């Protein structure tokens, strides 16, 4: 199962999910009230590489990170 990491202020422990692509992950997270607010503003990294398409295939050994926006200088 793919491992999902939630970075920064999201404040959720990592989870493992059985998905085929990022679109399926978005559908799962849309049902979670806490995660729903982050879906539109987080960047997504697959194995430490930023991705933009929800059609990206996910393998069981993959690591997905949700990266919230940050402020700073």
* CATH number assigned to the domain comprising residue 48: 3.10.20.30
d(CA 14, CA 36): 16
Higher pLDDT, 37 or 67: 67
In a domain, 73, yes or no: no
Interval 12-55: pLDDT, tens: 999 999 999 999 999 999 999 888 889 889 999 999 999 999 99
Q: How many domains does the chain have?
A: 1
d(CA 63, CA 3): 5
Does residue 70 have a pLDDT over 90? no
In a domain, 72, yes or no: no
In a domain, 29, yes or no: yes
In a domain, 60, yes or no: yes
What is the residue range of 55's domain?
2-67
Residue 72: predicted pLDDT? 56
In a domain, 40, yes or no: yes
In a domain, 22, yes or no: yes
């Amino acid at each position: 199962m793919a491992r999902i990491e939630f970075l920064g202020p999201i404040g959720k422990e990592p989870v493992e999910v059985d998905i085929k692509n990022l679109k399926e992950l978005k559908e799962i997270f849309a049902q979670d009230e806490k995660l729903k607010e982050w879906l539109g503003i987080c960047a997504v990294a697959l194995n430490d590489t930023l991705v933009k398409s929800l059609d990206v295939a996910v393998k069981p050994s993959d690591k997905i990170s949700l990266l919230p926006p940050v402020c700073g200088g």
